[in-house]
Structure 1
Amino acid sequence: MSKAFDAIIIGAGQAGPSLAERLTDAGMKVLMVERKLFGGTCVNTGCMPTKTLVASAYAAHLARRCANYGVTIAAPITVDMKRVRERAATVSYNSRTGIEKWLRGMNGCTVIQGHARFIGAHEIEIDGEVFTAPRIFINAGGRANVPDMPGIDQIDYLTNTSILDLDTLPKHLVVIGGSYIGLEFGQMYRRFGAEVTIVEKGPRLIAREDPDVSEAVKEILEGEGIACRLNAECISFKPHTEGTEVGLDCSSGDRKAIGSHVLLAIGRRPNTDDLGLDKAGIDTDERGYIKVDDELSTNVEGVWALGDCNGRGAFTHTSYNDFEIVAANLLDGESRKVSDRIPGYALFIDPPLGRVGMTETDARKAGQTLLVSKRPMTRVGRAVEKDETQGFMKVVADADTRKILGAAILGTGGDEAIHGILDIMNADVPYPTLQWAVPIHPTVSELIPTLLSDLKPAQ
């Protein structure tokens, strides 16, 4: 015999709990199912623990540079990796338990910790029990991708999840993958004191960014002693007395790297392969992502997919926005769409990269008449005062509409300052509106009007 609910939510990640609150507030009886850890990737293996580690790494880096600020520390700088790990774990635990307590205390919400599998379009099974609802929301998240590379089954390796359990310092961390996860972990462990090598199959780091951004990031990392091995077309692994021998087919340099530890940071995959989606007739693409329309509905009426499992955004903030879209359309009579979302994100190395909208490369490919402006962070008083002048600001605008198409701020505070541009793009007004703003001095954002005033036709 099945148990009936008004709505079922599969996964207590970023979108699920807030959706449960909106649905229960609307008088619905809701079943929340979480198979493992409340809070999803962000709370448990993503943003919260990693940014806590980044903060610890920054503290160590700043301490080593204290003489630049006229500060003297008598003792050598050391890092207590057990305390570092404990601090990150505590931040995650507090958030995770807070979310679980919130859900379990929510009127109208039943919480089950177990593995949900579809057995029909609007039926799921959990540990032998059947539950039904006319509305089902899938918020199953994703996990580290582990490609079938030569020798991978012969070695012990780390992912972004398992590396969080490390409470000792690797002698030499070899990071496979030169994108966001790999670069953040690479820099933090270098600052903790490990030797670090980043291995990237492509010709440059973070390939989705403009070449000048990629090159500047590479220079920042190499300036801290990180080895970047690009064009590693053939990567292989085999056990070594010191850990793992990573075979490299690079255009230059050694053909191998010996790592005490190997971190695989080669993208993500959705947690959709064991949900029984075929029993419900729910369509997925070739990578396993659930296909959704512009309002996040699947091909099955009454079933939605939110967050990392739908392939429409791989960030905490896009997952939360998925919730906002679904809730607004279902409960508030609105017509919100994913296509209205202006993409924004950050790379949390130090200094961070804040990004919004199109890259200059993509804007050129689109054939638009462009205005471009670029200024080094050495022109930012706040950066000079902090002795953190690496990086630059760049903005791209449409010459005809005078609206901003995209921007990058690689520099201290770039992850925060980018929001001024993100906001003006969401307001959908010409850039002079922001150009004539009067920002506070001394801040990183104060250079943005100057950057906009220097927009010139792209060469």
Structure 2
Amino acid sequence: MATRFDAIVIGAGQAGPSLAARLAGAGWSVAIVERHLVGGTCVNVGCTPTKAMVASAYAAHLARRAGEYGVGVGGSVTIDMARIKARKDEIAGQSRRNNETWLEGTDGVTLLRGHARFASPHEVAVGDELLTAPHIFLNVGGRAAVPEMPGLSETGYLTNSSILDLESVPRRLLVIGGSYIGLEFAQMFRRFGAEVAVIETAPRLIAREDEEVSGAVQAFLEDEGVEVRLDAGRLSFERQGDEVAVVLGDGSVETGSHVLLAVGRRPNTDDLGLDKAGVATDERGYVIVDDELKTNVEGVWALGDCNGRGAFTHTAYNDFEIVAANLLDGDDRRISDRFPVYALYTDPPLGRVGLTEAQARASGRPYKVATRPMNRVGRAREKGETKGFMKAVVDAETDLILGAAVLGVGGDEAIHGLLYAIQGGMTADEIRRTTPIHPTVAELFPTLMGDLKPPA
């Protein structure tokens, strides 16, 4: 006999726990099922642990530059990878424990441990227990994609999850994939003292960004000693004693002590029994949802990374907000209401919102663009961190901001000023007329808007 709930949430990532608590607060009985670690990717193998390690890498980098600021550190900088890992583990572990304590102490929420699988459209099996509910929410996240490449499985590799467990610095790290995850780890481990090579099959790094962003990121990584191999072609792998050899399409070989595979993500939907529920997925396994996160099956929703409508913690949380508002508040919120916004956590970081210039050009609309190098931003000069630039793309007819990028110190924070401006419908001229705080990075936004010109 099935145990009945008002709602079942499968997965305790970013959206699931918040949704469970909100529904319980409205008087619903809620079961939330997690087969691994509460907190999902972000807390356990994503944002929290990686940014903790990025902070350690930044500390090492800044210590090496201390003399530029008139500060002596008294000897060479050393790296204790075991202590870096322990610090990371404590920060991530505390976040996970806080989530567990919160869920376990929330009236109306039952936290179950185990692997959930659909038995029918509104029945879920967790081990030997059968649950039923009229509302079921999928928040199962994703994992590293591992494509078929000759020799890969035989030689061994790291993913974004397993590399977090290293307690010693690799001699030479080969990063397969020149996008967001790969580049963060590449710079991080270079700053820890590893030799690092990034191997990318595309003609440039982070290909979804404008070309000048890709070029600037490549330049500052190479300045720190990261080797970058582009247009790598078809890759194959072989073991050479204690080393791994990566053979590129042109026959050249890169060898290293470790390989990090960072070539994308895949959803954790292949073992949920979605066929028994009739829930439709696309060719990559992502659950197909409409603008309100509903699947094709009445009473079943999909939130977060598993729906392919956003690959970030903040989009997963917004999925929760949309579903909760529509179910409980009589609202009419939709995925299409949000603007794309994200960050790349290299140093300097990249903050991005809205359209790139390439996307604006492809849309066929008339636009204006402005760029300002960070070495002309007073706050960046004062901090001695002048790499990068800021850029805005504005509709030439409406004066509304189409998109922006801040690749530079504080870019991941400063970009929010332009996000709020876009969301609020501010024009470039309205931003130009504001009075910002000095000295800050964001104070250059009004100046940037005053530099707008048609593209060359």
1:230 aligns with 2:217: no
Q: TM-score, normalised by structure 1?
A: 0.99
Match of residue 122 from structure 2: 122
Q: Summarize the alignment of residues 346-357 of structure 1 with structure 2, pairs less than 5 Å apart.
A: 346-357=343-354
Residue 199 (structure 1) aligned with residue 199 (structure 2): yes
Q: Which amino acid aligns with 2:66?
A: C
- TM-score (norm. length: structure 2): 0.99
The Cα shift of 1:151 comes to 0.4
2:258 aligned with 1:261: yes
Q: What is the aligned partner in structure 2 of residue 429 from structure 1?
A: 426
Task: Please name the residue that 2:454 is paired with.
Answer: 457
Give the superposition deviation at 1:21.
1.0
Q: Give the letter aligned to residue 126 of structure 2.
A: I
- Residue 428 of structure 1 deviates from its aligned partner by 1.5
Cα drift, residue 6 of structure 1: 0.2
The code of the aligned residue for 1:198 comes to V
Could you tell me which residue of structure 1 aligns to residue 444 of structure 2? 447
Q: Secondary structure at the match of 2:93?
A: helix
Q: Tell me the amino acid that sits aligned with residue 68 of structure 2.
A: N
Instruction: Please state how far the C-alpha of 1:182 moved relative to its aligned partner.
Output: 0.2
Identity of aligned residues (%): 62
SS at match of 1:163: helix
Matches within 5 A, 1:169-188: 169-188=169-188
Higher mean alpha-carbon deviation, 421-430 vs 185-194, is at 421-430
Match of 1:327 among 304, 321, 324: 324
Residues 349-394 of structure 1 deviation map (CA, whole Å, 9 limit, x = unaligned): 0000000000000100000101000000011000001111000000
Aligned partner of 2:55 in structure 1 is 55
Q: Once the 2 structures are TM-superposed, how far is the Cα of residue 242 of structure 1 from its aligned partner?
A: 3.4
Aligned to 1:14: 14
Counterpart for residue 71 of structure 2: 71
Cα deviation code 1:391-428 (max 9, x no counterpart): 00000000001000000100000000000000000002
Coordinate RMSD, CA, aligned = 0.7
Structure 1 unpaired stretches of 5+: none
Match of 2:371 among 364, 370, 374: 374
- Provide the residue aligned with 1:2 in structure 2: 2
Instruction: Note if 1:361 corresponds to 2:369.
Output: no
- 3-state SS, counterpart of residue 84 of structure 1: helix
Equivalent residue number for residue 190 of structure 1: 190
DSSP 3-state at the match of 1:457: coil
Which residue of structure 1 lines up, in the alignment, with residue 315 of structure 2? Answer: 318
Alpha-carbon shift at residue 429 of structure 1 (Å): 2.5
Q: Which runs of 5+ in 2 are unaligned?
A: none
Separation of aligned partners in 2, 1:153 and 1:455: 51
**In structure 1, what is the Cα distance between the partners aligned to 2:390 and 2:63?**
27
Describe the superposition over 1:92-129 as per-residue Cα deviations: whole angstroms up to 9, x where unpaired. Answer: 10000110111011101111010000010000001121
Matched, 1:383 2:380: yes
Distance 1:289 1:216 in 2: 33
Between the aligned partners of 1:244 and 1:50, the Cα distance in structure 2 is: 25
In the alignment, the residues of structure 2 paired with residue 271 and residue 403 of structure 1 have an alpha-carbon distance, to the nearest angstrom, of: 38
- CA–CA distance in structure 1, aligned partners of residues 34 and 423 of structure 2: 34
1:187 CA displacement: 0.1
> Which moved further from structure 2: 206-215 or 71-80?
71-80
Residues in 1 aligned to 2:431 and 2:330: alpha-carbon distance in whole angstroms: 32
Give 1:293's aligned residue: 290
Read off the aligned partner of 1:352 and give its amino acid letter: P
Equivalenced residue count is 456
1:345 to 329, 339, 342: 342
Correspondence for 1:89 = 89
CA–CA separation in structure 1 for the residues paired with 2:296 and 2:88: 40
